[in-house]
Chains A and B, each alone.
Chain A
Amino acid sequence: MIEVLIFATLNGLVTGLLLFMLASGLTLIFSMMGVLNFAHASFYMLGAYFAYSISLYTGFWPALIIAPLLVGVVGALVERYGLRRVHKSGHVAELVFTFGLAFLIEEAVQFFWGRSTMNYESPALLDFPLFTLFGQNFPAYKAFMIFISVSIFIGLYFVLTRTRIGIIIQAAITHPNPVANLGHNVPFIFMAVFGVGSGLAGLAGVIAGPVLTTFPGMAAVLGSIVFVIVVIGGLGSLAGALVASLLIGLLQSYAIASDVGMQDLLDLLGVSFAADHPLNDIWRLTLPQIAPIMPFLLLVLVLIFRPSGLLGKRES
């Protein structure tokens, strides 16, 4: 029991922190432009694919630096030549634009790399078990993932709250016009933040690619969950995004590791149903089975009962 709990916690931590790398960029972009970027997870996918192609020539470590930078440039170009143009037509058009972009990036990835799974592997340097607990190995690469995610969080927090650049960015988010009057190039700041946010998503893709497999559907798998996190945490709240990421990561991890189901609940209540009962699909549900839908259930509940999210201040 205890070893299941420990490993479920560690795996939940890895997933949660990975989700946070995506959610942090998404929530930053949201608080800046007021638009949820549907294509955010597509930048994550681009990161994994770029890193795979680069690593064929240079190995993993240079790819870890180059791929996120490339994704950041792509993101900045998207903002400059796409979103800025659509901005005139309103928020719905912007949302629909990012939706179309996600669609297009998925097709483009299939165009350049094909439909099959890429053979993108973690570096040999980290290919050893970090420690062994109750006969189960914890790979060093997962620890590396935790390390990268935590350093990103600390770095982002430091830059946003303790440096001059961060102060200007925060000011540009809430008061764009006065900041522009002080002589700062606000459109450039927006483009840069969009680029950095996309780059962070790319970095998440680079480190997640070897573990979660690099294939054309990887953006769709994570995309809606990242959305859920940003909304649950409270739109525009970085701390909320962290809490929600860890919550979802741990929740899913525990649900998958557990072996309880409706049957146990029914036994506890002393109820039983015939073998051909029409609702047997429900009476035989198990927790691992419903793990994939838990984030969405949580989303709907949060939106109904607390539309501003866990730590959010604004509603829409």
Chain B
Amino acid sequence: MGKLTIWIVFAVVLLVLPQIFDSVLSLSIFTQMTIAIVFALSYNMLLGQGGMLSFGHAVYFGLGGFLAVHAMMMIEFETLSFSITLIPLVGGVFGLLAALFIGSFSTHKAGTVFAMISLGIGELVAASSLILVSFFGGEAGVSGDRTYGPPFFGIDFAQDDHVYYLAAAWMFFAVLCMYLFTQTPAGRMANAVRDNPERAEFMGYSARRVRFISFAMAGFFAGIAGGIFAVNYEILTEENLNAATSGRVLLMAYIGGLGFFIGPIVGAVVLTLINSLLSNYTDLWMLYLGILFLLTVMFLPRGLTGLLMMHRVAWQLGRMRLLLLPYTLTAIPGAVFILGMIAMIEMSHAEDAEFVYLGLALAPAGYGSWALLLGVTAVAFFVLRRTLPRLREAWSQANTLPRQPRHEDGHP
């Protein structure tokens, strides 16, 4: 499958998705996804491609968003007159300006110094936004209205699906630009500086300038994401530029997988789904998210995309069949174990006398339900451990090159 085909499929999926899932909830989730994807990809320009760990990336998202809302207000009061479809660009330009200013002194060094400056700037901007009330609106934030200004081919963006298509179009454009950036000399040099700044300098490149370019571009695309956010929600508050938002984008990029261009997209989609669907079922979804994040860092350093990419060798050797049965055998007790753990966590927080879980009526007050769950979970755990050696064996079999000679005594 050629690269062009992938982009066409991507565009078609974006167009068709709201036709298949056309409820209000799914539309709002799709729009959230587009924002998250642009934001997470822009973050990956720093951490994944440039090796700069930032704890304050929400600053550019938020500043872009705030300026976009102010631009929307100016359109409303007819100080300015341009189409609302250009609002994300306003966000992008101001994200870029903020990044140009801050990047001019923060990109001297990568590593801990950069991480600490980003943390300091993030806290500084978040705290200042509460002080400078006339621009940031204090605790309440600032809000605008997207339905003013000259209509775009007769569309006034009063309906949610119009907003989705606008957001999706901007997202497609931003993702394409960010992908093309990775192919430019500046994008390739960003990787070089990440891996070995000293060597890049010996080749005649200023590591600092390369980092500065990546940083400015990341700020620009974060600002676009903020602008799309402004169009969609029509309000921005301090929450959109504080440390929690900076942390969430790190979570998305990391869980998705930093080493791959598509990784942050996967992370943004998965986390938006968790965020909007899981929160309907349980109050404890943040706890699960934290556990998922920690497990990812510990066991999948290359993220969910890395997990998929691990199967490339087996796939190319045509040996996925070998893995099918062991995977199923591991997945069944694994699922039972996870569901059992979740049941116990949820039951300990259930307030009613009866607690219905997956169609099973449990009684949090009695010992019976606890004993049942503990028993099932423990059995699942031991079965899971028994299936692992078989999985490991199948894995090494599926990933061994066919022509490699096998020695009886175990020495290669």
Binding site for B on A (CB under 8 A): 36, 82, 85-86, 89, 91-93, 95-97, 99-101, 103-104, 106-108, 110-111, 220, 224, 227-228, 231, 235, 278, 280-282, 285, 289-290, 292-293, 296-297, 299-300, 303-304, 307, 315-316
A278 x B109 contact (CB < 8 A): no
Q: Bound complex: CA of A97 vs CA of B289, how far in Å?
A: 14
With CB as the reference atom, state the residue of chain A lying closest to B55: A99
B293 x A100 contact (CB < 8 A): yes
Q: Bound complex: CA of A224 vs CA of B345, how far in Å?
A: 30
Binding site for A on B (CB under 8 A): 47, 51, 53, 55, 105, 108-109, 111-113, 115-117, 119-121, 123-124, 127-128, 131-135, 243, 247, 250-251, 254, 284, 286-287, 289-291, 293-294, 297-298, 301, 345, 349
B112 x A293 contact (CB < 8 A): no
With CB as the reference atom, state the residue of chain B lying closest to A105: B290
Main secondary structure of the interface of A (DSSP, over half): helix
Q: Bound complex: CA of A235 vs CA of B116, how far in Å?
A: 11
A231 x B131 contact (CB < 8 A): no
Contacts A93-B301, A97-B298, A107-B286 given; does A293 touch B128 at CB 8 Å: yes
Q: Chain B residues near A280: list those with CB within 8 A.
A: 134
What 3 A-B pairs come out closest when comparing CB atoms? A104-B290, A299-B120, A89-B301
Q: How far is the CB of B391 from chain A (nearest CB, A)?
A: 20
Q: Chain B residues near A224: list those with CB within 8 A.
A: 119, 123, 243
Q: Bound complex: CA of A108 vs CA of B247, how far in Å?
A: 17
Q: Which of B51, B112, B116, B135 contacts A281 (CB 8 A)?
A: B135
B115 x A95 contact (CB < 8 A): yes
Q: How far is the CB of A248 from chain B (nearest CB, A)?
A: 13
Q: Chain B residues near A290: list those with CB within 8 A.
A: 131
With CB as the reference atom, state the residue of chain A lying closest to B121: A300
Q: Chain A residues near B135: list those with CB within 8 A.
A: 281
Contacts A92-B47, A281-B134, A281-B135 given; does A111 touch B284 at CB 8 Å: yes
Q: Chain A residues near B111: list those with CB within 8 A.
A: 91, 316
Q: Which of A86, A280, A281, A303 counts the most chain B CB atoms within 10 A?
A: A303
With CB as the reference atom, state the residue of chain B lying closest to A112: B348
Q: Chain A residues near B116: list those with CB within 8 A.
A: 36, 227, 231, 299, 303
Q: Which of A100, A106, A292 contacts B127 (CB 8 A)?
A: A292
With CB as the reference atom, state the residue of chain B lying closest to A38: B55
Q: Bound complex: CA of A95 vs CA of B127, how far in Å?
A: 24
Contacts A111-B284, A281-B131, A281-B132 given; does A303 touch B294 at CB 8 Å: no
B131 x A304 contact (CB < 8 A): no
Q: Bound complex: CA of A111 vs CA of B290, how far in Å?
A: 12
Q: Which of B51, B105, B116 counts the most chain A CB atoms within 10 A?
A: B116
B53 x A92 contact (CB < 8 A): yes
With CB as the reference atom, state the residue of chain B lying closest to A282: B132
B134 x A303 contact (CB < 8 A): no
Contacts A86-B297, A282-B132 given; does A36 touch B53 at CB 8 Å: no
Contacts A281-B135, A292-B127 given; does A95 touch B53 at CB 8 Å: yes
Q: Chain B residues near A97: list those with CB within 8 A.
A: 294, 297-298
Q: Chain A residues near B51: list those with CB within 8 A.
A: 92
B297 x A93 contact (CB < 8 A): yes
Q: Chain A residues near B53: list those with CB within 8 A.
A: 92, 95-96
With CB as the reference atom, state the residue of chain B lying closest to A108: B287
Q: How far is the CB of B341 from chain A (nearest CB, A)?
A: 13
Q: How far is the CB of A223 from chain B (nearest CB, A)?
A: 9
Q: Bound complex: CA of A108 vs CA of B289, how far in Å?
A: 11
Q: Chain A residues near B128: list those with CB within 8 A.
A: 293
B287 x A111 contact (CB < 8 A): yes
Q: Bound complex: CA of A100 vs CA of B295, how far in Å?
A: 10
Q: Chain A residues near B293: list those with CB within 8 A.
A: 100, 103-104
Q: Chain A residues near B286: list those with CB within 8 A.
A: 107
Q: Chain B residues near A300: list those with CB within 8 A.
A: 117, 120-121, 124
Q: Chain A residues near B345: list those with CB within 8 A.
A: 111
Name 12 extra pairs, CB < 8 A, besides A104-B287, A315-B109. A100-B290, A100-B297, A103-B293, A111-B284, A111-B349, A224-B243, A227-B119, A280-B134, A281-B132, A281-B134, A299-B117, A300-B124
Q: How far is the CB of B255 from chain A (nearest CB, A)?
A: 10
Q: Bound complex: CA of A209 vs CA of B53, how far in Å?
A: 32
Q: Which of A103, A235, A278, A296 contacts B290 (CB 8 A)?
A: A103
Q: Which of A100, A224, A235 counts the most chain B CB atoms within 10 A?
A: A100
